[in-house]
Structure 1
Amino acid sequence: MEDNRKRGRDEGERDTTDDVGESSSRARRGATDSYEVGESSRVNTEPPTSALSSMNISQSTVQSDLLEVIRRPDNGGIHGIPIQLFVNHFPVTFNNSSIIFKYNVDLKPDEQSKLANYGSSAKISKENIREEGPKYNFKINSVEDVELSQLDGYLKGNFLPNPRNILHGLDLVMKENLTKHMISFRRGFYSRELDDFGRGLIASRGFQHSLKPTKQGLVVCVDYSVLSSQKPVSVLEYLEKILQVNFNKIDPLNSTDREKVEKALKDLEVKVIHRQTDQNYKIAGVTLYPSNDLKFKIKKKNQSKEVRLIDYYMETYKEIEYKNLPCLDVSRNSNNYIPIEFCVLAERQRYLKEYLQHSVRKMKNIAMPDPLERKELICKAVEAKNGPHGGDIAEHFEITVNTSMTVVTGYVMSPPYLKLGDSQNISIKFLPESEDRLWNFKEKSVLKGMQIKPWKILDFTASEDFGILDMNKFVKNFTDISQRLHIQESRFFDRTTSTMDILTKNEAALISLLSSLKGQNSSSQILICVMKEKDQGYKNLKRICETKVGILTQCCLVHNVSMLKINAKVGGSTMELFDPLPHLEKDNSVMFVGATVYHPGSKNTSCPSIAAMVGTTNWPAANKYAARIRPQAHSKGSIHNFGEICMELVNTYTRLNEVHPAKIVVFRDGVSDTQFDMVLNTELKDLKKVLKSHNCEPMITIVVAQKQHLTRLFHMKVGGELEKKNVLSGTVVDTKIIHPRNFDFYLCSHSGINGTSKPVRYTVLFDENGFSSQDIQKVIYNLCYTCARCTKPVSLVPPVYYAKLAASRGRLYLDSLIESYTAASPALFDQGLFKLHDDLKDCMFFC
């Protein structure tokens, strides 16, 4: 660790003075993480687009004990076949001798003006002031003058303070023109022309863009984007045409339709039409009873009186026609019911994925264009009059955008040799030679097929009128696939039938049923749960099986079962890398860790975030993982007790391998560039502290994996089929478009099928293991071939891939628990509710 600190200090640390408000502003040196405007974590808010109010220079002073992001150790890796690529980075030029001035503007009425506030901007007055208005005091305070030469020095690689304030200011300048001509939503700007796909789905085409400091200089990164949303129709039309619920003015909804309506409408916002108001109301649910049966109390002349809801609306507003439909519950603290017919959906709201399938083909045509079409759409947007080049405002600030994409040389790494089984279950050396790097099990088998001890079927289709399971066919198919892959399955044990209702309506009965199916000996037992269709009860089944009962499950539809997942869950191995990982050939105990955090939606302000960590349990194969799941404070970016959770995984590794890991490579997901300092000086320090307290001091490397960026890679060759295809699996770029000083690179490890592939940006924050660019790139790419669920390289390095799966499982637990508690209940933060059963905590139940 001392060597790492020393490297940062020796490379140009500076402590300068911040003269806020003076003609020359020089910021003290703050955290050295980079900042990419518009590409921050979801827990951070976007900067305003109407004023340069966020251009605060960091006031933090240099701390000698703070860890800093390491610099690139070399000039990049040179391996594989060179390839010329277009990248959607457009160079930005600016006058480096210019100064940006920031002001605070204060506008107040004269003290003698007798005006009262009416809302946020309106005023009311007793006198007519239209002819001679009141006097106002207009005050401007100079806050700071920011020299663009600071940004120029930073881009040239000088070790200067991160010019986050300048990037913020320039970003606001670039966006100001767009806000006047397009719909602004989060990071994107969209056309006011809408595509209507029917069933309430509408979409607007546009783009997202952000300013990035790169090795070639400042660039604006522009990517094509589509904003889909719910059409603002009346709730009655929503029920009829989108949910396809049958209703009329006479009959009430049956319980199934009422639950369907509540599920679809919950958390959506509506406007009312029976009275004048601009307020939006958030739907908490629908009433159990129809409007005709609802009563509430009102106070008149200090007396409380109970009235029927339909009588109240008749006297106050107008008659309710659909008296047998439930009302929308928009309550916060007290009952507030609004008849469905008086509500209209508010604009720009989510469209339920369950109903997206009806328009998915139409949506794919515009939302997922092939690489050639996407490239053309991006270039067209950049060249447009009101495009992301900033318009007249940018020109006034002497900012110019080059409308040509950046050309860069990348390399295509060769795939690794794999170790599989042949038709005789003998280990063979295999190379995925197809262009897409896919392979199958024709005349091959999994490397290690575990014995599946008495496997049982829990059949949820038996009581349905259709989709009944053909038991003989299902068992034969299961057995045939097992034998072909050399997965040893014992004789079929038994079949139990149940209804889907037990998953959602009777937890005690479900626990009793699952406990009886588990039996006494469950070391390799798995329960095959066959369902007619996807069901909301799935989350309850997984939570109870994995935290209460301790039985492995594999859910599937009638004609679909994944033997690769089953084999991985019971401890088998799909494949291994044939050759040792680069730079780690001579090591006998290396552990890979993946960590991520799932945050609730932006409208959810009380539920816990879910932290998940996974760690390898074997070496040198490094293809089996254990997981840990924890709830933590809402929207908390750092993982609470990072070291403690990781230590649990280290203890598992030590117990199974009888040795402490000598090296640990941690892959951190879900953090932005602005959170690099948090990873280093909160999570890493906590990890080192806990490890040391357990007499375990491995060499540690920290790598951040990011997909929440806008960078895309395109084939440069013009004409032919290649231009329409995605870049090849193994394409890596570590020059020109990377950070000016950080140790980062872009890797597209998978072969994209639909739309345009997005590479993953990997940044090495801390490295005690001395990886070169070439070594760490090859390690990550080779690991992408070891995912147990599929026969192709995955898009994310498996430690992150599996950590995200574990976090998704934690989200299922949370969604299940919310039905028993409330979204704001403190009980949801109880770690005991998310603690894995002892029988499952060391296996890949999440796979």
Structure 2
Amino acid sequence: MWRGYYTSLRLGPGHAFINVDLSSQPMIMHGNLPDVMIAYAKAKAPRFGPSDLSTRTMHPQAAIDLGRFLRNLKVVIKAKDQQGTEQHRKIKELTKLSAADAKFNLENGQQTNVKEYIKAQYGVTLQHPEWPCIRVSKVALWPIEVCEIQVGQKYGKKLDPAQTAESLKFTTIGPRDRIPLLRKGIEKIMPTNAGSPLNQWGLQIETTPMEVPARILPPPQVTYKNKTVTPGSGTWDLRGYNFMKTASIERWMVFVFDREQFFPHRDVQNSVQGFVEGLSKTGIRVMTQQPTIVYGAGVHPDRVAQFMKHEAKKVFRDIPQLFVCYLPRKPCDEYAAIKVGIATQCLSIPKVKRGNPQYYANVAMKVNVKLNGTNSTVNLGPAVSGKPTVIFGADVSHPAPGSFAPSVAALVGTINPEFTNYGSSIRIQPSRVECIAEIGAMVQDLLKQFHKSVKVKPQRLIFFRDGVSEGQFSQVMDQEVNAIRIACQSLEATYKPEITYIVCGKRHHISLFPMRPEDGDRTGNVQAGTTVDQQITSAYTFDWYTQSHASLLGTSRSAHYTVLVDDSKFSADTLQQLVYNLCYTYARCTRSVSYATPAYYADRLATRACLYLNADADDAASVLSSHSGASADEQRRVKMTEYRQKLK
């Protein structure tokens, strides 16, 4: 990982300011090409060593993985020509031929191989002629032994879980440590000495951080069946509280996707007892205390869902209310299959072995919602009073870098007057297209769900759109907002509800710090509820920043909200309080979340839909579809339609 600085010049109300932030980037390991290849291969095969680079012994999958990793990387050729010049080339492919086996004809017609040519032309005797070559052009091959990976190349692909964990350690910097690093960056980027270009041009830039006015919004009351709590610092404790509307579990089964020798039947029973007790403490009624336990270790991930349904039919006539699945690790190959269209709750075996009651309390919040219960309610304020209202969240999930899979658009919307139950709609669309192509049809889906539940048409629609950059605002206005209006009128010509369209997200570089340590929270961050709507906001739009959550690690990043459309003409206070109150409605935890819950749900839905489609692992099918018609895309579309029905 490399650390640097992000800078941008921004226009605020009546002034300009420079935004400086820390930036981190995963980089390709540089150095001898064989060393880099071995280090990369060791991530999947820890015993991989120099002897495994031989073209005769290299595992076929390792060759494929290394070929994908090396493609388009820049290398320096250490074998210098007669003038002593180094060559800088780009890798086209990793060949299957070694330096000893790769043969070609010289200009005089004599045949030679790469090994002998390198020795004759450059005076280099290869120590490992059995290692493969890289191709840098149609005719040019170089043995990996004489190549070095050039320094300073970005790693643009998706990080694996271990790499992600390491990158988080590197990028997690608390506010007390972050400010000195930012000051150092400002001194480097904007020197203020007499001879600096800024002074020569007559520009004066204040290098101390800006002081901006802020206010702390009051937290809402969170209401449970037996008590009401006013959270402090964005958190509260579930102990002693019963859910507002509880589910009842009569038919359920337990699946253990680990070998019985590692998680014995008695340990599973003890965990099930802890699970039942955790649910009962919140008011969830579990009628069957000793469910059927089935071990599923060794079942192929593609057959997991079928296996679970088959086992369930041995016990029940139809699919039970809930499958509880014990998984040995995260991520787990079975997870995607388990989550397809059936009510499930996954439990981590390492976590349940610790026997922490708080873990089961957290699980209870998820289970109750999955079974159509309601954990708690929050009064959202005047923005949603007086008229039937639907609050939407929208997001688009894009494939991992280097993938050709399609993007997935997700829309969620409240379908009850308490704003606790959500309907959903998902679609696939061309890869990395941000505007939601079928948002009109998706809105219609949710309006129909709301009307079916409440028996009235909503007169106010409030949208929270995640993932849109400032450069896409006009495009979203032209395409998505207009499509929503047309969709409403196509349901009924006179149906014209008020629309408020708010873009929200955390992909910005504004950091808020308390002026004095005593003004911050225990981690040194600004307190939950801190809102800034002056000086660092846009000169052209109505926008603001709200720090809605209590940060656990590092420097917290506030959510940025920009209002693109507001037919209801809400005041700033009304909208800001609505947004902050919504952050306390996330059903899966007893904390306020970092941005508006509807957008949070949409993000989770889009990510889950990608998991359903196994999009990241289906690149080959996507590439094939570009050459052989739309078969792969059609298969995805059919699968998405099936999942849409299961999600309702």
Aligned residue runs from structure 1 range 481-560, under 5 A: 481-491=278-288, 492-499=290-297, 502-503=300-301, 507=302, 509-517=303-311, 519=313, 525-535=321-331, 537-538=333-334, 540-541=336-337, 545-546=339-340, 550-560=341-351
Q: Which residue of 2 aligns with 1:218?
A: 16
Q: Tell me, yes or no, if the aligned pair for 1:452 and 1:524 is still in contact at 8 Å.
A: no
Rounded Cα–Cα distance in structure 2 between residues aligned with 1:679 and 1:229: 33
Alignment of 1:93-492 (within 5 A): 203-234=1-32, 236-238=34-36, 243=43, 245-247=46-48, 266-269=68-71, 270-271=73-74, 273=77, 277-281=87-91, 312-317=113-118, 321=128, 323=130, 344-346=148-150, 347-350=152-155, 352-356=159-163, 359=166, 364=169, 367-384=171-188, 392-421=196-225, 427-432=226-231, 434=232, 436-462=233-259, 466=262, 470-491=267-288, 492=290
**TM superposition score normalised by structure 2:** 0.81
Alpha-carbon displacement from aligned partner over 1:747-776 (angstroms, at most 9, x marks no partner)? 111111211111111111111222110101
How far does residue 397 in structure 1 lie from its aligned partner after superposition?
Answer: 4.3
Residues 629 and 817 of structure 1: CA distance in aligned 2, closer, same or farther (over 3 Å): farther
Asked if the contact 2:537–2:543 (Cα under 8 Å) also holds between the matched residues in 1, the reply is yes
Q: Kindly provide the CA deviation profile for residues 177-221 of structure 1, in whole angstroms up to 9, marking residues without a partner as x.
A: xxxxxxxxxxxxxxxxxxxxxxxxxx3333111111111411111
Residue pair 2:410, 2:424 contacting (<8 A) in 1 also: yes
Q: Say which SS state the counterpart of residue 801 (structure 1) adopts.
A: helix
In 2 relative to 1, CA 263–240 (structure 1 residues): closer, same or farther, beyond 3 Å? closer
Deviations 1:457-482 (A, max 9, x none): 2322116x746673122211211211
Change (3 A) 1:608 1:316: farther
CA distance in 1, matches of 2:596, 2:174: 24
* Larger mean Cα displacement after TM superposition, 755-764 or 650-659: 650-659
Q: Answer with 645-654 or 454-463: which moved more.
A: 454-463
Q: What does residue 582 of structure 2 align with?
A: 783
Whether contact under 8 Å (2:312, 2:320) holds in the other structure is no
What is the match of residue 774 of structure 1?
Answer: 573
Q: How does 1:83-102 map to 2 (within 5 A)?
A: none
Aligned mates of 1:490, 1:338 — CA distance in 2: 70
How many residue pairs end up in the alignment? Answer: 602
Deviation at 1:650, TM superposition (A): 1.6
- Residue matched to 1:590: 389
- Judged with a 3 Å threshold, the aligned counterparts in structure 2 of structure 1 residues 837 and 599 are, in CA distance, closer, same or farther, namely closer
Task: Find the partner of 1:674 among 471, 477, 480.
Answer: 471
Query: For the structure 1 residues 614 and 343, does the alpha-carbon distance in structure 2 shift closer, same or farther, using more than 3 Å as the test?
Result: farther
| Equivalent pair of 1:610/1:632 in contact (CA under 8 Å) | yes
Normalized per residue, which structure has more helix?
2
Match of 1:751 among 539, 550, 563: 550
**Paired residues of 1:614 and 1:626 also in contact (CA < 8 A):** yes
Cα distance in structure 2, aligned partners of 1:642 and 1:390: 56
The 1:370–1:322 alpha-carbon spacing in structure 2 relative to 1, beyond 3 Å, is: same
With over 3 angstroms needed to count, the CA separation of the structure-2 counterparts of 1:723 and 1:649, relative to structure 1, is: closer
The whole-number CA distance in structure 1 between the counterparts of 2:444 and 2:325 is 34
- Judged with a 3 Å threshold, the aligned counterparts in structure 2 of structure 1 residues 673 and 250 are, in CA distance, closer, same or farther, namely closer
Tell which deviates more after alignment, 815-824 or 686-695. 815-824
Q: Does 1:570 align with 2:376?
A: no
Quote how far apart the aligned CAs of 1:596 are: 1.4
Task: Write the distance in 2 (CA, Å) between the matches of 1:761 and 1:312.
Answer: 61
| CA deviation after TM superposition for structure 1 residue 342, in Å | 6.4
- Distance (whole Å) between structure 2 residues aligned to residue 827 and residue 341 of structure 1: 43
Quick one: structure 1 residues 590 and 296, their matched pair in 2 at CA, closer, same or farther if it must change by over 3 Å? farther
Counterpart in the other structure of 1:739? 538
Corresponding position of 2:121: none
Whole-angstrom CA distance in 2 between matches of 1:626 and 1:521? 28
Following superposition, the deviation at residue 239 of structure 1 comes to: 5.9
The residue that corresponds to 1:613 in the other structure is 411
Q: 1:271 to 1:768 in 2, by over 3 A?
A: closer
1:602 deviation in Å?
5.3
Structure 1 residue 837 corresponds to structure 2 residue 639 = no
| Structure 1 residues 678-827: aligned runs within 5 Å | 678-695=475-492, 696-717=495-516, 725-812=524-611, 813-815=613-615, 818=618, 821-823=621-623, 825=625, 826-827=630-631
Shift of 1:728: 0.6
1:581 is aligned, of 374, 381, 394, to 381
Checking the alignment, whether the CA contact within 8 Å between 2:236 and 2:590 is kept in structure 1 is yes
Helix, strand or coil: the match of 1:438?
Answer: coil
Would the alpha carbon gap of residues 466 and 580 (structure 1) be closer, same or farther in structure 2, given more than 3 Å must change? Answer: closer
Q: Distance in 1 between matches of 2:90 and 2:66?
A: 17
- Worse overlay, 788-797 or 489-498: 489-498
Q: Distance in 2 between matches of 1:839 and 1:630?
A: 12
Most deviating of 811-820 and 790-799: 811-820
Change (3 A) 1:658 1:809: same
User: CA 1:441/1:741 → structure 2, altered by over 3 Å: closer, same or farther?
Assistant: same
Cα deviation for residue 803 of structure 1 reads: 1.0
Structure 2 letter corresponding to 1:213 = L
Deviation at 1:523, TM superposition (A): 7.1
Q: Among 426, 445, 450, which residue is 1:629 paired with?
A: 426
- Counterparts of 1:358 and 1:637 in 2: how far apart (Å)? 28
Q: Which amino acid aligns with 2:297?
A: T
> Contact (CA 8 Å) 2:214, 2:533: kept in 1 or not?
yes
Q: Aligned with 1:703: secondary structure? A: strand
Q: Distance in 1 between matches of 2:254 and 2:129?
A: 46
Query: Which residues of structure 2 form unaligned runs of 5+?
Result: 80-85, 119-124, 352-359
Counterparts of 2:333 and 2:133 in 1: how far apart (Å)? 24
> Which residue identity does 1:571 align to in structure 2?
N
Identity %: 24
Match of 2:354 in 1: none
Letter in 2 for 1:557: S
Matched letter for residue 643 of structure 2: H
The 1:471/1:671 distance shift into structure 2, 3 A limit, reads: same
- Alignment-mate amino acid for residue 321 of structure 1: H
- Give the secondary-structure state (helix, strand or coil) at the position aligned to 2:579: helix
Q: TM (normalized to structure 1)?
A: 0.63
Kept in 1, the 8 Å contact 2:30–2:149? The answer is: yes
1:740 & 1:224 partners in 2: Cα distance? 24
Output the amino acid matched with 1:429.
T
The 1-side partners of 2:249 and 2:57 are apart by: 41
Alpha-carbon distance change, 271 to 376 in structure 1, aligned in 2, over 3 angstroms: closer
Q: Deviations over 1:91-122 (max 9, x none)?
A: xxxxxxxxxxxxxxxxxxxxxxxxxxxxxxxx
Q: Distance in 2 between matches of 1:260 and 1:686?
A: 48
| Structure 1: segments with no counterpart, 5+ residues | 1-202, 422-426, 843-847
